[in-house]
């Protein structure tokens, strides 16, 4: 069925280090994946997306990797900064259908000074 | 430019009451979606509207309804409130329907006593 899960609910990293947040999905029909960041008291904020015809996509300090074979998605954040502290959600959707994003539980990223 | 605005920001209701939540999308955005976010979980899709028509509905009971107005603003209505309806209700807008880049408001925090 439709579900998106995360391997770890919390992640602590040192400022300046790279962070990797993982996500597993179970719906083989999903062909579009998105990462969102949610800071305390705010709505989710779009970070980056990737379609199933790609394995990797890079943005500013972020990289998303997609492994369709094992249904795994990851978000890499380079040179983590204090402002990166937030809960990160992966979401999946099927292109061509309703804009119905299925969000995972989320991973809380904490940056240690 | 103003982002997605939602009202009210906080409200308290008692079981059995009705609530109406309002959302104004970003200027030029014609798609509006509603999500429910229970504390500690990812957002869950409720409805999507595009050009005033319902494009998608999540797994929510008929107590939940929504509509989109000619100016693309939207209302979410919930009847016969239950304790379990307590959550953050998020509205999101986007330019089109074939994108996962949603712009979320800060939400309406509903508490049902």
Using DSSP bridges, classify how beta strands B31-37 and B44-50 pair: parallel, antiparallel or unpaired: antiparallel
Q: Quick check: A1 pLDDT over 50?
A: no
Q: Is the pLDDT of residue A4 over 60?
A: no
Residue A3 pLDDT exceeds 80? no
Cβ pair A59, A37 in contact under 8 A: no
Quote the CA–CA distance of A26 and A20 in Å, as a whole number. Answer: 20
pLDDT at A99: 81
Q: Which pLDDT tens digit goes with each residue over A46-86?
A: 999 999 999 999 999 999 999 999 999 999 999 999 999 99
Residue range B15-40, pLDDT digits in tens: 999 999 999 999 999 999 999 999 88
Contacts of A100 in chain B (CB under 8 A): 45, 48, 56, 58
- Does residue A12 have a pLDDT over 50? yes
A1 or B102: which carries more pLDDT confidence?
B102
Residue B109 C-alpha, separation from nearest chain A C-alpha, in angstroms = 10
User: DSSP per residue over A85-105, as a string?
Assistant: -EEEEEEEE-TTS----EE--
* Cβ within 8 Å, pair B100-A98: no
Q: Which residue has the higher pLDDT, B110 or A94?
A: B110
Per-residue confidence (pLDDT) for residue A6, from 0 to 100? 45
Q: B40 vs chain A: nearest CA distance in angstroms? A: 8
Given a contact cutoff of 8 angstroms between Cβ atoms, the answer to whether A102 and A6 are in contact is no
């Amino acid at each position: 069925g439709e579900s998106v899960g995360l391997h770890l609910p919390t992640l602590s990293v040192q400022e300046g280090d790279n962070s990797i947040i993982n996500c597993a999905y179970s719906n083989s029909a999903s062909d579009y994946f998105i990462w969102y960041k949610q800071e305390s008291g705010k709505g989710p904020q779009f970070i980056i997306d990737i379609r199933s015809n790609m394995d990797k996509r890079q943005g500013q300090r972020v990289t998303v990797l997609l492994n369709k074979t094992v249904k795994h998605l990851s978000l890499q954040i380079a040179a983590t900064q204090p402002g990166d502290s937030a809960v990160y959600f992966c979401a999946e959707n099927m292109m061509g259908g309703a804009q119905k994003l299925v969000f995972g539980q989320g991973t809380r990223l904490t940056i240690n000074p | 430019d103003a982002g997605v605005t939602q009202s009210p920001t906080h409200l308290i209701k008692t079981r059995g009451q009705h609530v109406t939540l309002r959302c104004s999308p970003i200027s030029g955005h014609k798609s509006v979606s509603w999500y429910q976010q229970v504390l500690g979980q990812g957002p869950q899709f409720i409805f999507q509207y595009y050009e005033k028509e319902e494009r998608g509905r999540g797994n929510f009971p008929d107590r939940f309804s929504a509509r989109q107005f000619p100016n693309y603003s939207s209302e979410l209505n919930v009847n016969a409130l239950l304790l379990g309806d307590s959550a953050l209700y998020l509205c999101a807008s986007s330019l089109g329907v074939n994108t996962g880049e949603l712009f979320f408001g800060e939400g309406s925090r509903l508490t049902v006593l």
